[in-house]
């Protein structure tokens, strides 16, 4: 699926499509900016049970540590950030008491892209990420 808003084209890949062949992947979103190119990759896991979550989280977390060093806590609960806030790993609620993992990696020119998005739409590109992380109920407590 393709969605365009302002200067950003989002390419959505759903479970069982190319890029999402991993059994734990529900969706991958690639955000391509008109002038800056690919600036954001968003990975969303399938809903995970309480028994599955810790091992899945640990694998991703340790890979982040291996690549970027130790993260800092994010401003939202159950969220960690790596260098300059450009890579994020979060745990969020899913249906029926399950949870999902969300990982977001942003490119070096994401802020420039977001500025262009605000000029075209009246809101920063990050507002869409906040909606994803916070859900319809708003920020998690």
Tens of pLDDT, residues 19-63: 666 789 999 999 999 999 999 999 999 999 999 999 999 999 999
Distances in Å between the alpha carbon of 73 and those of 42, 79, 83?
19, 6, 12
Give residue 140's pLDDT band: very low, low, confident or very high (50, 70, 90). very low
**Beta bridge pairs of residue 114:** none
Q: What are phi and psi of 58, to 5 degrees?
A: -60, -40
Dihedral sign (CA 61, 93, 88, 48): positive
Tens-digit pLDDT profile for residues 87-130 = 999 999 998 889 999 999 999 999 999 999 999 999 999 888 88
């Amino acid at each position: 699926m393709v969605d365009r808003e302002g200067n950003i084209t989002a390419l959505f890949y759903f479970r069982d499509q190319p890029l999402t062949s991993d059994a734990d992947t529900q969706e991958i979103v690639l955000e391509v900016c008109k002038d800056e190119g690919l600036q954001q990759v968003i990975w969303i896991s399938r809903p995970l049970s309480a028994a599955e979550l810790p091992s899945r989280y640990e694998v991703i977390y340790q890979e982040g540590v291996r690549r970027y060093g130790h993260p800092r806590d994010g401003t939202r609960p159950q969220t960690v950030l790596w260098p300059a806030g450009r890579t994020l790993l979060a745990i969020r609620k899913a249906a029926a008491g399950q949870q999902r993992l969300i990982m977001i990696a942003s490119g070096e020119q994401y802020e420039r892209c977001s500025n262009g998005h605000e000029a075209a739409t009246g809101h920063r590109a990050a507002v869409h990420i906040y909606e994803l992380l916070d859900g319809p109920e708003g920020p998690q407590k």
